[in-house]
Amino acid sequence: MMISMKKIKIFFIYLVSFIYLELLFKVLVHNDIFNISLINILIFLTFFSLLLWVISTIFKKEKINKIIFYFILLSITIWFGVEYVVDGYFGFYVSLSALKIADQVGDFALTGLIEILKRILGIILILLPLILSGIFHKHIDFEHNNWKKNLGYFCLSLLVFLLFILSLNINKEEINSPYYLYYDINNVSLNIDYFGLIHAMIIDLKREVIGFQDKIVNDNPLNDPNEQDDEPSVKVYDYNNLDIDFEFLKENEKNSSIKQIHEYMANDTGTLQNDYTGIFKDKNLILFMAESFNEIAVREDITPTLYKLVNSGFSFKNFYTPTIYSTIGGEFQELSGLYATSTNILSKFRSGNISFPQGIANKFKEINYNTYAYHNNTYTFQDRNKYLKSMGFDNFLGCGNGLEKRVNCKVWPRSDVEMIDTTVDDYINDDHFMVFYATVSGHSGYSWSENYQARKHKEEFLQFNLGLSERISGYLASQMELDQALSLLIQKLDEAGKLEDTVIALVGDHNPYVLDLDEINEASTFEREEIITRNKSSFILWNSEMDTVNVTKVGSQLDVIPTIYNAFGINYDSRLFIGKDILSTEGGLAIFADNSWVSDKGMYYAKSNKFIPVEGEIIPDDYVKNVNHIVNSKVNISKLIIDNNYYQKVFKNN
């Protein structure tokens, strides 16, 4: 006699599968599993599974219910797999708005296949619930529930959701609490950590569709940077501000978002001029965004020019290049002085429709400089041809609109040496010039077979007998191309008699994120971790005639343009930048992808809510809480500025 096995309700399949996937994802991305956020995740998954059970049993035909079930489970499984691979490779999570910069991910299609194969075990584990559901599909109950049952299950799901809402009040006053994340700020990375991937994506979808207004807190600055000694023997400095009456603008503004920005700006005193204001006045500027440049590539043996430039001129000892949405995020932060809050604002930036009256080429053109921009990758990639124009660059050359006639654009990555060699003559005889180079020779991957520039320098690199593994060796060898390009640039400037009248500035777009942390640490002088210290790097601001100035204050890509403007004596408004002049008295701050941060007083890790003070520093009461408010406000104001095309309105109305 056969005993029939009772079929399993879809609710339990959903619930067990989702809990498994969420816990597995936390393990795969090296997060802690057992913390208070697990309560929120489990409650929400119970609600979500009940709701999906109703949806999956609404039809009388079991075949249709089965299709709905497998479609939902397949979609969620694919999303977990995508997030796992993208986070492992790029170092950031994919939000729905990330589809707006899909060309950046698409550019890595072949590499993506390799990355999937590298993570095949994790992918198989992610697929396990789907596979088992397919194998044992005969034991799953796809039977239709009548409307009374479904109504009851729906009401039950609402009660569970209410329980979730109540659970948000647990420790609601803590820094970056689930309550704060749910109601006040938008941070995809922290949302995934606190709410789980499934719920975070639902939150992201809701905010993408109906919009979301982040909370802005007008806090005091990091310290009291603007105090000046009133003694007559001490020079008193002016502010780097324009004559903009934000109070007046606020009182006469009807749009609530713009009014909120006006209020924020009105409460920002701006940064003071200083001993270095105008130190480079009337000099030429050549600014680099160096692909994947990081301080681990700064070595006296293999990259002597980089070593010289980093350790002379202004030598920044606590500089960071936070990796936020790869190259486009880093370049946006360097050129705009705003935080790359989301792919949504990056998409708007890329359109070229955002006004930047204080954009670097616009400001230098105001003082009669000729401006140029070059990139040895496809000139339309990430719409660089559009957003550089909004910054004021009318003369932009890349592969596809003229540079391919000078540089071999058929190899990958292309040569920085060739780009410098064939473009210097465009501007070197001008009275005053400002040039922007976006390099590409340091681009991933870094095996000898993948990277043409690494392979080109392989024999030269191997002579140093550093004993490093292949990929970190390939990375360092690719940076030798950048080093030699800078050496050639200095030589050409010197031969033309322009070296002493030219400033070279260089910052990386992001760390070499395709390298494993162990590979990074092979070449590092200290042990790095994934969130903050992996991103520690260098900022070059160098002129051959100046004495070395060691700068210990914290800085990041956000601070590059304000620092340059002050040093060149350019008339600008420091309140309109989220980044600040590193040479000013403003307290230093670097913000990372998950809103972790570094200040002059210590490091804060957002996911673990852990603060590590600098040894010997006195930390005021509520310091960490106050800086977190400052960080969140800077991030949110950056978003509002781009969303509302704020600069256009300010300068038009003023």
CATH number for position 522: 3.40.720.10
pLDDT value of residue 233: 46
pLDDT of residue 627 exceeding 90: yes
Residue 211 has pLDDT above 90, yes or no: no
Tell me the pLDDT tens digit for each residue of 308-331. Answer: 999 999 999 999 999 988 899 999
pLDDT surpasses 60 at 535 = yes
CA distance 514 to 471: 9
Among 379, 389, 461, which residue's Cα sits nearest to residue 419?
A: 379
Domain boundary, last residue among 584, 609, 628 = 584
The per-residue pLDDT of the chain, averaged, comes to: 90
Residue 247 within a domain: no
C-alpha dist (Å) from residue 596 to 541, 589, 628: 26, 11, 9
Mean pLDDT of 116-140: 91
Domain count, the chain: 2
Q: Between 167 and 219, name the one with better pLDDT.
A: 167
How far does Cα 75 stand from its chain's mean position? 27
Q: Domain for residue 258, yes or no? A: no
This prediction has a pTM of 0.89
Q: What is the mean pLDDT of residues 226-237?
A: 56
Tokens, residue 468:
């490093």
**326-352 in b/e burial notation, b at 16+ Cβ within 10 A?**
bbbbbbbbbbbbbbbbbbbbbbbbbee
Q: Are residues 185 and 279 in the same domain?
A: no
* Assigned domain for 186 exists: yes
CB 10 within 8 A of CB 141: yes
204 and 297 fall within a common domain: no
pLDDT over 50 (residue 224): no
β 536-537/314-320 pair status? antiparallel
- Does the residue 601 lie in any domain? no
221 confidence band (pLDDT: 50, 70, 90): very low
- Residue where one domain finishes, among candidates 584, 606, 628: 584
User: Would 546 be classed as within a structural domain?
Assistant: yes
Q: What is the pLDDT of residue 107?
A: 53
Position 4 scores a pLDDT of 45
- DSSP 8-state symbol, 107: T
Task: Tell me: do 380 and 482 sit in the same domain.
Answer: yes
User: In terms of residue numbers, what domain contains 195?
Assistant: 8-210
Residue 177 shares a structural domain with residue 323: no
Shared domain check, 281 and 192: no
Q: Do 191 and 45 have their domain in common? A: yes
- Tell whether the model's pLDDT for residue 225 goes beyond 60: no
Residues 289 and 198 placed together within one structural domain of the fold: no
Is 280 in the same domain as 189? Answer: no
**What does the CA dihedral 538, 539, 542, 547 come to, rounded to 10 degrees?**
-60
Which residue pairs from 212-216 have beta carbons closer than 8 angstroms and sit at least 24 positions apart in sequence?
212/186, 213/257, 214/184, 214/185, 214/186, 214/632, 214/635, 214/636, 214/639, 214/640, 215/183, 215/184, 215/185, 215/632, 215/636, 216/260, 216/263, 216/264, 216/633, 216/636, 216/637, 216/640
Last residue of a domain, one of 186, 210, 234: 210
Q: Quickly list DSSP for 401-437.
A: TTGGGTS-TTSSSPPHHHHHHHHGGGTTTSSSEEEEE
pLDDT at 439: 98
Task: Clarify whether residues 390 and 527 are in a common domain.
Answer: yes
pLDDT at residue 269 in the model? 93
Outline where DSSP puts E strands in 167-313.
284-290
First to last CA, the chain: 89
The most confident of 59-73, 126-140, 289-303, by mean pLDDT: 289-303
Q: Is the pLDDT of residue 305 over 80?
A: yes
Look at residue 542 and tell me if it is in a domain: yes
Question: Does 630 fall in a domain?
Answer: no
Is 194 in the same domain as 287?
no
The answer to whether the beta carbons of residues 41 and 199 sit under 8 Å apart is yes
Task: Tell me whether residue 125 is in a domain.
Answer: yes
Average pLDDT over residues 597-603: 97
User: Does residue 302 share a domain with residue 195?
Assistant: no
pLDDT of residue 1: 37
Are both 199 and 335 inside the same structural domain? Answer: no
Could you tell me the pLDDT band of residue 102, with boundaries at 50, 70 and 90?
Answer: low
In this predicted structure, which of 16-30, 390-404, 558-572 has the lowest mean pLDDT? Answer: 16-30
* Mean pLDDT in residue range 31-43: 76
User: Tens digits of per-residue pLDDT, 330-339?
Assistant: 999 999 999 9
